[in-house]
Structure 1
């Protein structure tokens, strides 16, 4: 898959980022969300460097990702439990049906 460079602007600085073709809109969307978070952090804090703002944003995004991963794991466990219950119910029904047919 080939890549092309697209320009994104974060906190007033423009960066040229390599992006796989067809994924430009996704990268722009992520960059837009990151810019909102960086701008929000910058507005709420006084006199901290770009590096510190970037670290705070990375920690916030990492925490959000961790929460979503945990939600996904919880959902997978719930679905596994429901599938197990369904399988058990079907097995019991099939055994009952087989014994009634005899």
Structure 2
């Protein structure tokens, strides 16, 4: 199996440039991720409550991770609800088919 070709991409986070090797088909996702991280870190920095790049990065990572886990929880609940609705629909269709067969 061959490796996908990667090209370095330069992103800027809190005014610092970072060169990251990235497959071409993931470039836009990487840039979007870096932009989001940069915005979040600037928001945290601008509150003045957190000082230092490392601490700002950790707070941004914690906030983004919390949001990701909350979204996954909502998605799991939605999928569970959809499964319940599918089961109810299947049961209703089976009852209807039984009535049509019996009638």
Structure 2 length as normaliser, TM-score? 0.91
Gaps of 5+ in 1: none
The count of corresponding residues between Structure 1 and Structure 2 is 100
> How far off is 1:45 after superposition?
2.3
Query: Structure 1 runs of 4+ off > 4 angstroms?
Result: none
Question: In the alignment, which residue of structure 1 is the partner of 2:61?
Answer: 58
Question: In the alignment, which residue of structure 1 is the partner of 2:97?
Answer: 94
**Separation in 1, partners of 2:50, 2:90:** 60
1:7 aligns with 2:4: no
Q: Aligned to 1:18, what secondary structure does the other structure show?
A: strand
Q: Which of 32, 35, 43 is the matching residue for 1:32?
A: 35
Q: CA RMSD, aligned part only?
A: 1.2
**Separation in 2, partners of 1:77, 1:47:** 39
